[in-house]
Structure 1
Amino acid sequence: MKPHFLPLLFMAAAALQSCGNGNAASGIPEQTSIPVRLMPLTSSASAASIPVSGTFTTDDEVLLSFKTGGIIQRIAVKEGDAIRRGQTVAMLNPVEIDAQVQQARLAFEKATRDHQRAQNLYNDSVATLEQLQNAATAMEMARQQLNTAQFNRNHSVITAPRNGFVLRKLAEEGQLVQPGTPVLQTNGAASGNWLLRAAVSNKAWAAIKANDKASVEIESVPGKTFSGTVARRSEGVDPASGAFRIDIRITGEKPANIAFGMFGKAVVQTSGNAAPAGWAIPYDALLDGDGSSGYVFVTNNGKTAHKVKVTVAGMEKDHVLISQGLENAGQLIIAGSAYLRDSSRIHIIQ
């Protein structure tokens, strides 16, 4: 009977060997757990106080210039002068532009006479309808040229667009300037429309929303705090500073001793309900990053790892800001992620 049992023994041995190497392709036995390190996840959605600093400005700064080119005859203001709406602040030498206006006026008067003469000849059946229409067209073209010359003449004088102050004087009397060359920079600071313009980090920008309350301190008014609100926040990074920008408008009592470019500080009170949930995680925990998305491993029971997709909101110096994907996660795996797959067994190390 031995010959009958030998094939059965070989088949059983092959079956046992096959079962023992079920996970050989993966290189990790089924019962092996991966050592990992964990980090508790804490959302940043709660309200917070964010300190910021910046300089004061207004949202109505304007560079004043002439419509036409020429030689500056007079600049009637100096830097720091208060100005009122409609006040003449600079003018060009009017000789050239006045001559252009006079030429356009004479051309219009001649075209008007030619049109009247053509009208009389047409009434006497001497001139044709085409000749009369051509004379009417020439008269209208001369009228528009006169309007253009008069418009340029009016804009060879700069008047203040609103009440405010002269911030900078960018040209001098006797200087030849081209059309559109800035001559003066002004703002409407006389109306008290002050803004504290501050640069903030990615994380602070994500937490701060429009209309968030702020308390503002000004160096020229020591010991006093002014109320303000976030008027706006930039939707892109300032290429000069590499940071985001927010504007805080002073509300309530207006400060008296304040000037353009003066340094100020503020504390913004963010509203937790308005701010989106967010998490700051180490760079090493983010896998397969692609633009604004990536993957991380998390665990809820400390025994099994799960791979979840997350949305990247920004990056700071030493961590990544996540805006979505970790709502239902208990702990984040920050070490050992490279050896994990979804549903891998893990054990925690300190």
Structure 2
Amino acid sequence: MKILSILLSLSLPVLLWACGSKAENKTTESTTTARSVEGVVPVKLTPVTSVVRAEPVIASGLVSSAEEARLSFKVGGIINRMFADEGQTVRKGQLLATLDLTEIDAQVSQAQLASEKAERDFGRVQRLYGDTAATLEQLQNATTSQNVSKQALTIAQFNRSYAQIRASVDGTVTRKVANAGEYVAAGASVYLISGNRRSDWVVRVGVSDKDWARLQPGNRATVRLDAYPDQPFSGTISELAQAADPVNKLYEVEIRITPGTAKLAPGLFANVSLLPARSRSYAVVPVEAIVEGNGKDGFVYIPAGDREKVRKVAVQIGYLDGDKVLLTNGLSGVKEVITAGSAFLTEESRVVIK
């Protein structure tokens, strides 16, 4: 029994040492294997395809009337009466506002008196010239003064006739800027009127120069209004601006819409999808191939060299089409892009193709 105890005490350390050595060897083998694949990312390649499409132009703007009028007085003065309020329907030629005519009538009277005096002076000089008591120069000066005074009277009478505002179109008063008793300068807007014919509703939007170059009058459009979220409206491009807005550098596009039975009003917000007639070619890749996307800019990884390394390529995004991305630039001559595994890559990564 004592001999058995001695043998057990001697064999236990040997057994523990053997187990420890085996575990250490196994750990070393695992570490070596891990180091052999460190930095290698399994990836999948997807072919780059191409498609020819007419990319829609997306923009937003406000509904307005094609017939809009900003009405003002020809001369400055004190407003005497206002005959229309905001929201009121008016007819073309209807009287909307008048100025106090005290000063304007005085100017007309002054011009009338000056014209009468010039007539008398001309008659007197003409008689003296006939009696050789006046020179030709004096007669010519009197004639000029007579003509000038007549023109001054015409101007004063014209200004008096435009000391009132009349509606220039059939429509609705959308804004009344001033009130009776206020002073307004010549040409300052007093009323804003929008035409109310159902065929005259338009949406004006701003587009970039690249989009402007692809559009033409007559191109179709789809208009969606926040006021009618479930009712799309059809439209066509009626006008294209020939110069950019100096403030936002965008080109204005006017879309004439067909409202149907819907009730429209100026200022309704609209989202517009314009379909240009001109098509273009796009490179098509899966959406998971795009990394570091920012608006229209993005990057993709493509295999490089011996296909164990990768290269990062900048691309220009046209638009999304489901799970595909249509690219306008950046993949010329590239046949494959990396999809699965692209999120874990850097330009120093080594890859293995699955």
Instruction: Report TM bin, short chain.
Output: 0.5 to 0.7
Structure 1 residue 322: deviation in Å? 8.2
How do residues 275-286 of structure 1 correspond to structure 2 at under 5 angstroms?
275-277=279-281
The AA in structure 2 aligned to 1:263 is F
Equivalents in 2 of 1:52, 1:348: separation in Å? 44
Secondary structure of 1:86's match?
coil
Equivalents in 1 of 2:166, 2:333: separation in Å? 62
Structure 1 residue 182 corresponds to structure 2 residue 186: no
Matched with 1:99 is 106
Q: Deviations over 1:262-308 (max 9, x none)?
A: 23445x3624x5144467998999xxxxxxxxxxx9999998x9xxx
Matched with 1:257 is 263
The AA in structure 1 aligned to 2:199 is G
Secondary structure of 1:259's match?
coil
Could you tell me which of 152, 171, 193 is aligned with 2:159?
A: 152
Q: Deviations over 1:129-178 (max 9, x none)?
A: 10000001111111121122122212211111222111101001001112
Structure 1 residue 108 corresponds to structure 2 residue 98: no
Could you tell me which of 83, 90, 102 is aligned with 1:83?
A: 90
Structure 1 residue 45: deviation in Å? 4.7
Count of residues in Structure 1 that have an aligned counterpart in Structure 2:
293
* Residues 141 and 50 of structure 1: CA distance in aligned 2, closer, same or farther (over 3 Å): closer
RMSD: 5.0
Secondary structure of 1:195's match?
strand
Structure 1 residue 97: deviation in Å? 0.4
Matched with 1:197 is 204
Matched with 1:18 is none
The AA in structure 1 aligned to 2:278 is A
* Residues 278 and 127 of structure 1: CA distance in aligned 2, closer, same or farther (over 3 Å): farther
Matched with 1:342 is none
Between structures 1 and 2, the one with greater helix share: 2
Structure 1 residue 61: deviation in Å? 2.5
Equivalents in 1 of 2:226, 2:209: separation in Å? 27
Could you tell me which of 53, 60, 78 is aligned with 1:71?
A: 78
Equivalents in 1 of 2:257, 2:99: separation in Å? 38
For the Cα contact (< 8 Å) 1:192–1:254, is it kept in 2? no
Equivalents in 2 of 1:263, 1:94: separation in Å? 42
The AA in structure 2 aligned to 1:127 is A
Matched with 2:278 is 274
* Residues 324 and 197 of structure 1: CA distance in aligned 2, closer, same or farther (over 3 Å): same
For the Cα contact (< 8 Å) 2:67–2:169, is it kept in 1? no
Equivalents in 2 of 1:51, 1:279: separation in Å? 20
Could you tell me which of 148, 161, 171 is aligned with 1:164?
A: 171
Structure 1 residue 127 corresponds to structure 2 residue 134: yes
* Residues 122 and 244 of structure 1: CA distance in aligned 2, closer, same or farther (over 3 Å): closer
Greater CA drift, 325-334 or 57-66: 325-334
Structure 2 gaps of 5+ residues are 1-43, 294-300, 319-325
* Residues 329 and 83 of structure 1: CA distance in aligned 2, closer, same or farther (over 3 Å): farther
Equivalents in 2 of 1:299, 1:260: separation in Å? 55
Q: Deviations over 1:73-95 (max 9, x none)?
A: 01111111112222211111011
The AA in structure 2 aligned to 1:165 is T
For the Cα contact (< 8 Å) 1:206–1:275, is it kept in 2? no
Secondary structure of 1:99's match?
helix
- Please give the TM-score of this superposition, normalised by the length of structure 2: 0.63
Share of identical aligned residues, percent? Answer: 37
Matched with 1:226 is 233
Equivalents in 1 of 2:175, 2:255: separation in Å? 24
Equivalents in 1 of 2:201, 2:189: separation in Å? 23
The AA in structure 1 aligned to 2:268 is M
Structure 1 gaps of 5+ residues are 1-36, 286-296, 315-320, 340-346
Structure 1 residue 248: deviation in Å? 2.0
Q: Deviations over 1:9-47 (max 9, x none)?
A: xxxxxxxxxxxxxxxxxxxxxxxxxxxx99966667503
For the Cα contact (< 8 Å) 1:47–1:269, is it kept in 2? no
